[in-house]
Structure 1
Amino acid sequence: MRLQRKSPIPAPALWNLEINPQGHLVWGGCDVVELAKKYGTPLHVVDEDQLRHNYRAFIRTFKRFYPNVEVFYSYKTNCVAGILKILHEEGAGAEVISPYELRLALQLGTPPAKIVYNGVNKSAESLSLAVRQGIRTIHIDSWGELRQLKALAKEFGRTVGVGVRVRPSAGWRGQFGFDLGNGEALQAYVTLSQRDPLRPEGIHFHIGSNIKTPDLYVRTLREVCRFLKGLKDRLGLELTYVDIGGGIGIPGVKTFTLFERGLYYLWDRIPKVQRGSDQPPLETFAREIGNALLQGCESYRLSSPTLLLEPGRALSGDAQILLLTVGSLKQGSGGRKLAITDGGSANIAFPTSFEYHEAFVANKARMQPEITYRVTGQVCTPSDILYRSKKLPPLEEGDILAVMDTGAYFTSYA
């Protein structure tokens, strides 16, 4: 038996979509059905005005609550060069995690002083390039990386500013960085303080993706500030920046919990998502994060560091949509209706395997959803599913499906 949770039908206007006299969706002033005809599908469409607005609102809001802020866009979120150029024009730096991304940032003309190099298992070639270019900072992720950087700094006669990636008690842990609670992170700073070519300047953490409340950031910043107090007391070391990574979510995109994923995959039960009420506004994140860092520094008598932010989804997530064309329509087992499109989770929409994104039929925008479909891609694997259970208007071959909020990780996984 398939279960479907009833919820209000979402309105396109919640995504700043309009409907023209032809009954087509209009986004950023463009009839998306005509875009699909002109350029073909699958087609990602970016609203430049929305992207620029998102960056300006993001940095303005954070600076209201913590004036000393630097923003570095997360290249891994969406490394389409046109998007990156727009964000760099607005003033964003580059947060990179691979040799490719580092070279891309430099090729796009990003000043080295506006590049942060993160990631695990960095190659010797890319570390060499980062040292020679004199980028803003390199976040050390392992003991081997520390030794490599020391050797490279000596080879090129450079003093290299670095930070340490730490694993706090909450959020993502896994293979990343040095543990904050067992003395490993402290030992990394002890070692750095004894190695002249490497200058310890900052601390870095990243606690998750599509985070819906600021609570985890606040908790982690309190833990980090206690750690910074220990560095000051034991080593006489005061860091100049705290990098809290990215992860701030956007309204309307739901990352499945393990329980929700089970319900979705076993019984096609879609988690309840209501755009506009599923997370607080950006101002709440900025206020809580800014206040947590200010209060922590005041409590422990620390100098206020620069706050580094690495947003990805928060800047580009809702500035992009994905257009797909409906092809074959079939009757599946158990009476399930199947709609096969030219894009699915196996080739262009992998995030739909662990996130829920709203979708509309762009050429039937005034029609009410009446029929529940399983929407798939065309790759020859049963796992190539876009929606396991999605209520849509009656579909026909050639209809255009518009998937919302595809500006984060869709192109990265494609």
Structure 2
Amino acid sequence: MHLYGTQTVNEKGHLAIGGVDVSELASQYGTPVMVYDTELFKKRANAFKKTFEDKGIKAQVAYASKAFSSIAIYQLAEQQGLSLDVVSGGELYTAVAAGFPRERIHFHGNNKSREEIIYAFEEKIGCMVVDNFLEIMLIKEIATERKQKMNVLIRVTPGVEAHTHDYITTGQEDSKFGFDLKNGQTDQAFNALHNHEYINFLGMHCHIGSQIFETDAFRFAAEVLMEKMVKWRETYQFICPVLNLGGGFGIRYTEEDQPLEPAVYVEEMAEVVKAMSEECEYPVPEIWIEPGRSLVGDAGTTIYSAGSTKEVPNVRTYVAVDGGMSDNIRPALYDAHYSSAAANRMNEPHDQQWTIAGKCCESGDKLVEKALLPNVETGDLIAIFCTGAYTYSMASNYNRLPRPAVVFAEKGQHQLVVRRETFEDLIKLDLPLQQLAKEIYE
């Protein structure tokens, strides 16, 4: 059984995260509860930053917060000296509420509204990552109206198809994101922005996909973007000060996954950029990267309580837990695989095969299809590992299930950072039927 970060098995045979017994967390906060190992988050953040420092390359490591967005995680990222990627007005609002330094906020998204762009100007954020021609028009218009400068990168699709799920592959030509590098769109975007009075054009951004285990695609993306930057210098005498190579660094969900250490991805990209800069006599650009999953993915563990069981002879045996696709949609959406354990019986043989099912009214609500566990009993605690990314952030109230609590744990201490939703929370936006509607429907 593979444990992650600071996870241990304590003298009671219970799973402990950050030195805290998860049975204590379940007792205090209820289940499901998401537990984040903040020491692992810090370790990963520092590994990315240190690799750039050791290479002598100026860089920004920005937490891609769509993986998990909350006031507390933004504050933790700020404490580690990270920058921050947001993709909506809501994420920007959360960052503002967290007191995150505006100059280190980068705003992404393929369909930013006028209101979101104005909000970004009002908060004087560090950079807008421009995704389409409508956005170019809006940013130029708003910047001129406000007589306010804005740093921009343009997102490009470099034609790289990373080895990942179709839904999370974003760097190939057929993508809803960015300007195509091959058909001239990138040059059009550059020409529309780089000499505008209120636009400070920084360079290019790309993101080739998620959960990537090899470096070849990152190296190729760095090469093609550097080639374009060199071409712009030759044609327009313009030198890009920034090259943003995105994120997508894989983590280990199951024994089959073989991710690289964070430093390896950075080293490979940095080598390409430095080598091409030297060969072309081009100033080494500041490199930005955007780890999200690789910072929070395996730092997060969800603890459920086991409920009913059901044996289908010669087929499978189910154990139902008190959460499911409402707090983790990834197995149903991506056919994502996870590893698991009986958190209150860690020392017992995990030698029986179970299907861990959720409580949502959907046949497809299965969290782990072939989980190895002991003979599970009602009330046992089931841990599903590596749920820190794209779980809470994609959670819903399907079947009117409240979203779980989120807890940070480190060095024997724990803190509630997102409270569990209540039934009252579920109806706080609902409005009663009015008289007009009664007349229509009666």
Name the CA distance, whole Å, in 2 between partners of 1:327 and 1:321.
19
The residue aligned with 1:373 is: 354
The residue aligned with 1:296 is: 276
Name the CA distance, whole Å, in 2 between partners of 1:394 and 1:400.
12
Q: Do the aligned partners of 1:65 and 1:286 also contact (CA within 8 Å) in 2?
A: no
Deviation at 1:313, TM superposition (A): 1.4
The residue aligned with 2:246 is: 245
Name the CA distance, whole Å, in 2 between partners of 1:69 and 1:376.
43
Structure 1 residue 53 and structure 2 residue 36: aligned?
no
Name the CA distance, whole Å, in 2 between partners of 1:283 and 1:101.
28
Please show how residues 187-198 of structure 1 align to structure 2 within 5 Å: 187-198=188-199
Name the CA distance, whole Å, in 2 between partners of 1:63 and 1:85.
23
Name the CA distance, whole Å, in 2 between partners of 1:386 and 1:15.
22
What amino acid is aligned across from residue 245 of structure 1 in structure 2?
G
Q: Do the aligned partners of 1:328 and 1:397 also contact (CA within 8 Å) in 2?
A: yes
Deviation at 1:82, TM superposition (A): 1.3
Name the CA distance, whole Å, in 2 between partners of 1:348 and 1:333.
29
The residue aligned with 2:389 is: 408
Q: Deviations over 1:41-83 (max 9, x none)?
A: 0000112222222222221123212520112111101102212
CA gap 1:66/1:78 in 2 versus in 1, 3 angstroms: farther
Q: Do the aligned partners of 2:245 and 2:288 also contact (CA within 8 Å) in 1?
A: yes
Deviation at 1:334, TM superposition (A): 4.5
Q: Do the aligned partners of 1:318 and 1:404 also contact (CA within 8 Å) in 2?
A: yes
Name the CA distance, whole Å, in 2 between partners of 1:120 and 1:22.
50
Q: Do the aligned partners of 2:75 and 2:100 also contact (CA within 8 Å) in 1?
A: no
Please show how residues 98-137 of structure 1 align to structure 2 within 5 Å: 98-137=88-127
Aligned length: 382
SS state of the match for residue 239, structure 2? coil
SS state of the match for residue 106, structure 1? helix
Q: Do the aligned partners of 2:5 and 2:37 also contact (CA within 8 Å) in 1?
A: no
Q: Deviations over 1:208-232 (max 9, x none)?
A: 1111122211111001111111111
Deviation at 1:181, TM superposition (A): 1.1
Q: Deviations over 1:89-108 (max 9, x none)?
A: 11112101001011111221
Name the CA distance, whole Å, in 2 between partners of 1:209 and 1:87.
20
What amino acid is aligned across from residue 198 of structure 1 in structure 2?
I
Name the CA distance, whole Å, in 1 between partners of 2:146 and 2:5.
51
Structure 1 residue 183 and structure 2 residue 173: aligned?
no
Name the CA distance, whole Å, in 2 between partners of 1:234 and 1:11.
53
What amino acid is aligned across from residue 256 of structure 2 in structure 1?
V
Q: Do the aligned partners of 2:104 and 2:126 also contact (CA within 8 Å) in 1?
A: yes
Deviation at 1:378, TM superposition (A): 0.3
CA gap 1:335/1:285 in 2 versus in 1, 3 angstroms: closer
Name the CA distance, whole Å, in 1 between partners of 2:10 and 2:128.
49
Q: Do the aligned partners of 2:52 and 2:58 also contact (CA within 8 Å) in 1?
A: no
Matching residue within 67, 77, 83 for 2:57: 67
Please show how residues 271-282 of structure 1 align to structure 2 within 5 Å: 273=256, 278-282=258-262
Name the CA distance, whole Å, in 2 between partners of 1:231 and 1:247.
27
Q: Do the aligned partners of 1:202 and 1:239 also contact (CA within 8 Å) in 2?
A: yes
The residue aligned with 1:393 is: 374
Matching residue within 307, 330, 349 for 2:328: 349
What amino acid is aligned across from residue 183 of structure 1 in structure 2?
G
Deviation at 1:19, TM superposition (A): 1.8
Which range is displaced more, 281-290 or 322-331? Answer: 281-290
Which range is displaced more, 145-154 or 24-33? Answer: 24-33
Matching residue within 306, 311, 318 for 1:338: 318
Q: Deviations over 1:282-302 (max 9, x none)?
A: 222121111111112222221
Q: Do the aligned partners of 1:359 and 1:401 also contact (CA within 8 Å) in 2?
A: yes
What is the RMSD of the two structures over their aligned residues, measured on CA atoms? 1.6
Structure 1 residue 170 and structure 2 residue 170: aligned?
no
Name the CA distance, whole Å, in 2 between partners of 1:56 and 1:15.
14
What amino acid is aligned across from residue 342 of structure 1 in structure 2?
D
Deviation at 1:279, TM superposition (A): 2.4
Matching residue within 296, 300, 316 for 1:320: 300
Q: Do the aligned partners of 1:118 and 1:139 also contact (CA within 8 Å) in 2?
A: yes
TM-score (norm 1): 0.88
Q: Do the aligned partners of 1:361 and 1:400 also contact (CA within 8 Å) in 2?
A: yes
What amino acid is aligned across from residue 373 of structure 1 in structure 2?
W
Of Structure 1 and Structure 2, the greater helix share is in 1
The residue aligned with 1:267 is: none
What amino acid is aligned across from residue 207 of structure 1 in structure 2?
I
The residue aligned with 1:214 is: 215
SS state of the match for residue 318, structure 1? coil
Q: Structure 1 stretches (4+) deviating beyond 4 angstroms?
A: none
